[in-house]
Structure 1
Amino acid sequence: MLVLNTLGSAGARTVVPLPRSLIQMVTMGALAAAFALALTVNLRLRVRPSAYLFLLTLLLVPSLVSSADPESGFGALFRCARLALFVGTLWLLSRWWDGGPTFVRHHIRMYFLVLGSVAAGLVVSPGAALPELYGGRLVGALWPLTPPQIGQYAAVIIGLTVLLLLGGRTDRRGAALVVVPSLVLLALTHTRTATLGLIAGLVLAIGSLFLTSAAARRFFGWTVLCAAVAAVGFGSALQAWFLRGQSQENFTSLTGRAKVWDALLAADRTASELLLGTGLGDKSFGGLPIDNSWLAVYHEQGLTGVALVAAVLVVLGGVALLRPPSLSRACAIFLISYCAIASYTEAGLGDASPYLLHLAVAASLLAAPAPAAPLPAPDVPRRRVPRWARTSEVI
């Protein structure tokens, strides 16, 4: 339900036109259902302490204060309520955060289902799935998904599946069924951020296992060898894929993002807007997407929000570095590093988004195992003592 809520309602044109109001109704209904289900299985409101969730709860303060301004509009308050419900659901689920890979498996399965809908749309209508409007990049033809979204989902489940394979938690056949089609979809999206995040995240995650896992060392060696062969034999094709036919000026300005960033930073702000932002919005400035988590948070939640988001990444990264080498630690390092890299060209760290879900999985992996409950005393039947033996004297 949380995954469905964070898919968004804006994107490419679908084969069957879906009204945006209907999509928003489905996504918000999914969030309400997620909260209701989590509350149903956790009626006693048992939660585990979590610095990650505590910082997200604090992030609600500048969001609510800035969104309460009448100039922000009703939409800002609605987004605040959505973020509060999202964080509340994560608090209810924190009861089951025990440092194991359970949530990693759920994460892979859910996003693999999303990619399955993308693949189905590609089969049903290749023209709608590879439209000229997006330069022939893969989009969602059944559900409105953009190329960066598809690339993000593919990169995340590829990295997590590879780590589960190296940790012996899945076999090669199961890993291939997830990794191979996801790699194809990632290549069709031509998403550079997701590709770089996948590579850098795997390097850091496998590096954390390098000294303790022979499988990680073998995988790293074979990967370096294959990368060298690909660079020599397919260098021009890889360069063409990476540039996506863009000019040098367009590539340097990050597909026009830098112009929006410069305008946002040059805009005049009051002391309140500088500290608390202008309220939760659609992550745009002047009608153009911001496409940077840090600037989006700065614009909507001010310097206070930037400090809290930075604290989230610093705390999670610091805890990951202090943990002993393990599969859970490697998966957490991959997710944290991927989100940190993607934050430069993608927005979402300050609002309910897949990135907060990725970091929630990382926090569940870094949680200390719950202490084992003491075993109840055996119910031994009491032996009846004769009346003559109940005296205090021994005869």
Structure 2
Amino acid sequence: MPLGAEPRPAGTPRIVGIVWGLLILNTLGSAGAVTIIPLPRSLIQLVTMGALAAAFALALAVNLRLHIRATAFVFLLTLLLVPSVISSAHLESGFGALFRCARLALFVGTLWLLSRWWDGGLTFVRHHIRMYFAVLGSVAAGAVISPGAALPELYGGRLVGALWPLTPPQIGQYAAVIIGLTVLLVLGRRTDRAGAAVVIVPSLVLLVLTHTRTATLGLFIGLALALGSLVLTSGAARRFFAWAVLCAAVATVGFGSALQAWFLRGQSQEYLSSLTGRAKVWDALLAAPRSTSEQLFGVGLGDKSFGGLPIDNSWLAVYHEQGLVGIAIVAAIIIVLGGVALLRPPSLPRACAIFLISYCAIASYTEAGLGDASPYLLHLALAASLLAAPAAVAPLPTPEVPRRRIPRWARDREVT
């Protein structure tokens, strides 16, 4: 999606992968389950914010000349800073709102610096999978060391992070995203099946243990849309899609009751219809009186909660914190990315981008994060890098061939 093009740099430095990993570390959050070794929240915040500062410093060090690609995605993210700063300046959410604005600005600035290497390739996809697989590895290690802490009754026996405070929706999100991307890499023959199984099988087990409905639906629907973009050009995609439909039918018939029990998580139909209590928070948020300024720009960046309860909806969280202007910008981000993906010819990068955009759009209904530095913005940034057209390669200069001087006597002979 570049608005301008520059000569492509000669390869992607390894340090770029480190920067991407630090951005992922920053978005892991500081609030979650009780860990085996109690970690003070101040220490976790120091680690995550230090990771963001280090990411920006390293990105700046590797891109000192500030070569960037003007992408619509990062431009819109920069534009999102405007309502964030305007609303946070009133300090209705405290000084923490200004701190979160600074964090978002540093996050967006790092993406600007990394945009130099966005060329529609799969380099950042591999960085994404490796880092989130490492995060899931810490979750699995915590479950092995202390199953009771990893499957606490406080979360209804759902899997949490026992070494680093991660909630079930976070773990489910990370697992679903890397499963979908790895499946697409296998179908595109960009990785071998044995290596893919090492990623997919454990991640699928962790996803099941989290009982996360949003992540599961996002995985299946996102993969279906991504495969749909490949079925006309890829025989492997057609075969996988056919087998997936067959397996889904068999599972529905043979394990329908077990699947229903897993989906309900012991909740009643009435409680599920209210989206596990989310609807009450949403209704209260929409019914709260607001001034014209609060309607347009929100109340400032906060912790994505209302009345002490999590909002758990990206659109309502953006409305609450960044107002209608923020909603318009976030909607523009999704529309632009989706429109560019539809206009691109069928390819593996396009399929990965469609999967990521679809997943984030589905998860936005029951998860917050599209208006602030979060894993969802990183997923969309990855989609933007996949949709970027390859940068123009600077032609090599043609060496001048020195002209051979012909002696005068030879020219005179040619004339005669």
- Counterpart selection for 2:267 from 240, 246, 252: 246
Q: Which residue of 1 aligns with 2:134?
A: 113
SS for the counterpart of 2:229 is helix
The equivalent residue for 1:301 is 322
2:147 is aligned to 126
Distance in 2 separating the partners of 1:322 and 1:279? 36
Identity of aligned residues (%): 85
1:291 and 2:329 correspond: no
CA deviations 1:133-190 (Å, max 9, x no partner) are 0000000000000000000000000000000111110111111111000000000000
Q: Which residue of 2 aligns with 1:356?
A: 377
* Distance in 2 (alpha carbons) for counterparts of 1:389 and 1:81: 76
Aligned equivalents of 1:10 and 1:184: distance in 2? Answer: 24
**Aligned counterparts, 1:162-241, within 5 A:** 162-241=183-262
Q: Which residue of 2 aligns with 1:11?
A: 32
Counterparts of 2:139 and 2:300, CA distance in 1: 33
**Offset of 1:372 from its aligned partner?**
1.2
Matched, 1:150 2:171: yes
Following superposition, the deviation at residue 378 of structure 1 comes to 2.3
Cα separation, partners in 2 of 1:288 and 1:382, compared to 1, 3 Å: same
Q: Which residue of 2 aligns with 1:84?
A: 105
1:233-263 per-position Cα deviation (integer Å, ceiling 9, x unaligned):
1111100000000012211111110000000
Which of the numbers 315, 336, 348 marks the counterpart of 2:357? 336
What amino acid is the match of 2:245? V
Deviations 1:304-357 (A, max 9, x none): 000000000000000000000000110000000000000000000000000000
- Pick closer, same or farther for the CA change 1:374–1:134 going to 2, 3 Å: same
What secondary structure does 1:218 align onto?
A: helix
Letter of the 2:189 partner, please give it. G
- Is the 2:91–2:97 Cα contact (8 Å) retained in structure 1? no
Name 2:91's counterpart in structure 1: 70
Counterpart residue identity of residue 71, structure 1: E
> In the aligned structure 1, how far is the partner of 2:99 from the partner of 2:308?
20
Matched with 2:299 is 278
Deviation at 1:388? 8.5
CA gap 1:386/1:36 in 2 versus in 1, 3 angstroms:
farther
Query: Once superposed, which parts of structure 1, at least 4 consecutive aligned residues long, lie more than 3 Å away?
Result: 379-391
- Superposed CA RMSD: 1.6
Counterpart secondary structure, 1:70: coil
TM value normalised by structure 2: 0.92
Kept after mapping to 1: 8 A contact 2:91/2:300: no
Unpaired runs of 5+ residues, structure 1, are: none
Offset of residue 376 of structure 1 = 1.7
Instruction: Measure, in 1, the Cα distance between the counterparts of 2:303 and 2:70.
Output: 31
Instruction: Read off the aligned partner of 2:262 and give its amino acid letter.
Output: W
Distance change >3 Å, CA 385–CA 45, structure 1 → 2: farther
Counterpart for residue 7 of structure 2: none
1:385 & 1:73 partners in 2: Cα distance?
A: 84
CA distance in 1, matches of 2:32, 2:302: 17
Q: Give the SS at the match of 1:168.
A: coil
SS of 2:126's equivalent in the other structure is: helix
Partners of 1:104 and 1:386 in 2: CA distance: 63
2:104 is equivalent to residue 102 of structure 1 = no
Query: Is the contact made by 2:285 and 2:306 (CA closer than 8 Å) also made in structure 1?
Result: yes
The unaligned stretches of length 5 or more in structure 2 are 1-21
Distance in 2 of aligned mates of 1:135 and 1:159 = 26
CA offset digits 1:58-95 (Å, max 9, x no partner): 00000000000033311000000000000000000000
Give CA deviations for 1:288-317 in whole Å, capped at 9, x if unaligned.
000000000000000000000000000000
What is the identity, as a one-letter code, of the residue corresponding to 1:24?
A: Q
Q: Which residue of 2 aligns with 1:22?
A: 43
Q: Is this contact kept in 1: 2:179–2:203, CA < 8 A?
A: yes
Instruction: Tell me if 1:50 matches 2:71.
Output: yes
Task: Supply the distance in 2 between the matched residues of 1:116 and 1:382 (Cα, whole angstroms).
Answer: 65
Shift of 1:387: 8.9
